[in-house]
Structure 1
Amino acid sequence: MEILNRLAESIDYIEKHLDQHLRHEDIAKIAYCSKFHFQRMFYMLTGVTLADYIRKRRLTVAAQELAASDVKVIDVALKYGYNTPESFSKAFSRLHGMSPSQAREEGGTLKAFPRLSFQIRIKGVEDMKYKVIEKESFQIIGKALEVTVKDGQNQTAIPAFWDELNQNGFTDSLQPYAGPLGFLGVCMDFNDQADTFNYCIGIEKTTADLPEGCIVKEIPAATWAVFEAVGPVDQAVHQTWDRIFSEWFPATGYELANAPQLEAYPEDGDVMAKDHVTQIWIPIVKK
């Protein structure tokens, strides 16, 4: 429950400071985690980015103020972080389907983006099976792409990166060297200042041979919680990540460690098959 309390406190902080400059790192500190991990966890739990949530909450409150008072549009725009009435009006219209001035007209229908709350989901007999593994440091070989979490760009950049390496034959060149974990997708080298991280596609390094074009990355020793996502990869992996953050972490005595996060895919098999198994490796620490 502690993680849910921290998330609730972070939402309280956002609500109290909607009319002030909100730094993501300050919000993340309330939840006792890095900015990157907080943004990732927030998106996994809510389906909306932290920046988008703040934007929609500000525009919701701004609409309420405009409809209930005679305050000037420019004053509301400045209050909620917009430098010009034009930028405010454009954002306002995208959310509400009308201009700020029209929001004052009787009968206008405004949209309200509600404040979030967090609860443990009760899934009945739907257990989450996992195992805890201690693994020494190891290396991976492959290719890396720097991606940003701004506006959820990583959600499209990573699948495109897989498509590129599958189509140009790079993943085929790695297959003869693949170890027991198969192919890996690794989030690492988190940069909180730039809102970026490196996403690596590769395999565990088990030989001195290095296929052409590969880089080598070090994965530190860690304690891992390993989950199995069963089903078509695009659905099963997302659903399992969601349950890890919304159900497993709140119900256990573990917290997310500041270390790489892995997804392991078998060498063979159809990733869209109903029985396909993807392993998700989460670095953890005991509270």
Structure 2
Amino acid sequence: MLHLRQLQEGIDYVEAHLESDIELADVARAAGLSQWHFQRIFKALTHETLKTYIRSRRFAKALEQLAGTRLSVLDIALGAGYDTQESFTRAFKDCFRLTPSQYRRMGNRSLFVRKIRLDESYLAHLRHNVSLAPQIEARPAMRMVGLPTDYYGIDSEKNNLGQKLPPLWGRFLPRLHEIANAVPGVCYGVVLPAGPHTEQLRYLACTEVQGAGDVPPGMAAMEIPASTYARFTHRGAAQNVDATVNYIYGSWLMSAGRSHTLGPDLEIYGAQYHPTSEQSVMHYAVPVHAPAV
């Protein structure tokens, strides 16, 4: 339950700093995790981004202050992290379809009553499309060569995965023959943070190479360190792999007694993979430490 405790420490940090600027990297640091892994676990468990959560908590506090105090709207706006009353009012109206002053006149009425909605498609995915128990395997160091890009994943409000990754693979696959000493039969998607203080991820559509060889123009080489991986089977369309990743980060890592090494994740595309078939099989592997004693 280490990750759950760390997640709570990050949430406690947010609650203690609602009236000041909150950097996502600081939240993750308070939890003892990298920014990417904190955001990924948070999204898997809560189904909302960390930025959305921070904004929601600030609005919730603002609602309490509007209904229960005589603080001016300007003071409440500044406490919610807005520079002006006008910008706070615009954001408030976009969210609730009424102004802060209109809400204050309504009295103490909740704007957060929502009907509970179960995600039936996710439950069906767990039943039929993902191996709930992974294969634990030691992988030697690998040298990868392929086409890189930076993108925002589903844990970010700027998510542009769908615009960046399919075109990347569309450019890479026709150029596979240019890579010297490529290991045949399998391609990889390597996923890792683009930097220590950014929401962006770096992705390499690639193949493993053995031996020397020039890197083709526009491509990049990456060294993947030897590590123990938990490898999960994903069945069905590749665009649904986020449901598998949500299970890994939101459920399996929480209960398996293992922690992520903070190394790169691997998407593994072998002979059973087909981009559009419901019978397609690929694998998603995360590097893990040995179980906690």
TM-score (norm 1): 0.84
Q: Which residue of 213, 216, 221 corresponds with 1:216?
A: 221
Q: Residue 245 of structure 1 aligns with which residue? A: 249
Q: Residue 174 of structure 2 aligns with which residue? A: 172
- Cα root mean square deviation, aligned: 2.9
Counterpart amino acid of 1:53?
A: Y
CA distance in 2, matches of 1:211, 1:201: 14
CA distance in 1, matches of 2:131, 2:202: 32
CA distance in 1, matches of 2:251, 2:70: 45
Following superposition of structure 1 onto structure 2, how do residues 162-201 of structure 1 map, counting pairs within 5 Å? 162-167=165-170, 169-174=171-176, 179=183, 182-201=186-205
Structure 2 unpaired stretches of 5+: 115-122
Quote the sequence identity (%): 29
Decide whether aligned partners of structure 1 residues 7 and 194 sit closer, same or farther in structure 2, where only a CA change above 3 A counts: closer
Contact kept, 8 Å, 2:133 with 2:232, in 1: the verdict is: yes
Instruction: Give the secondary structure class of the aligned counterpart of 1:285.
Output: coil
Contact kept, 8 Å, 2:147 with 2:220, in 1: the verdict is: yes
- Is 1:12 the equivalent of 2:15? no
CA positional deviation for 1:70: 2.3
Q: Residue 31 of structure 1 aligns with which residue? A: 31
Contact kept, 8 Å, 1:132 with 1:223, in 2: the verdict is: yes
Q: How many residues align?
A: 276
CA distance in 1, matches of 2:191, 2:277: 25
Q: Residue 53 of structure 1 aligns with which residue? A: 53
CA positional deviation for 1:163: 2.9
Counterpart amino acid of 1:263?
A: E
Following superposition of structure 1 onto structure 2, how do residues 114-193 of structure 1 map, counting pairs within 5 Å? 128-148=132-152, 151-153=156-158, 155-156=159-160, 158-167=161-170, 169-174=171-176, 179=183, 182-193=186-197
CA positional deviation for 1:182: 2.1
CA positional deviation for 1:83: 0.6
Q: Deviations over 1:148-184 (max 9, x none)?
A: 468432x32x3322332344x4312216866366222
CA positional deviation for 1:75: 0.2
Contact kept, 8 Å, 1:36 with 1:191, in 2: the verdict is: no
Contact kept, 8 Å, 1:175 with 1:267, in 2: the verdict is: no
Q: Deviations over 1:3-52 (max 9, x none)?
A: 21222232233223322332323321333211222112212322221111
TM-score (norm 2): 0.82
Q: Residue 118 of structure 1 aligns with which residue? A: none
Of residues 171-180 and 9-18 in structure 1, the stretch that sits farther from structure 2 once superposed is 171-180
CA distance in 2, matches of 1:50, 1:113: 21
Contact kept, 8 Å, 1:56 with 1:95, in 2: the verdict is: no
Q: Deviations over 1:233-265 (max 9, x none)?
A: 222x11211111222111112101121111112
Contact kept, 8 Å, 1:103 with 1:110, in 2: the verdict is: no
Instruction: Give the secondary structure class of the aligned counterpart of 1:256.
Output: coil
CA distance in 1, matches of 2:50, 2:138: 32
Q: Residue 97 of structure 1 aligns with which residue? A: 97
Contact kept, 8 Å, 1:102 with 1:108, in 2: the verdict is: no
Instruction: Give the secondary structure class of the aligned counterpart of 2:287.
Output: strand
Q: Deviations over 1:175-215 (max 9, x none)?
A: 68663662222122541223333211111124636444321
Contact kept, 8 Å, 1:36 with 1:190, in 2: the verdict is: no
Structure 1 unpaired stretches of 5+: 115-120
CA distance in 2, matches of 1:128, 1:160: 29
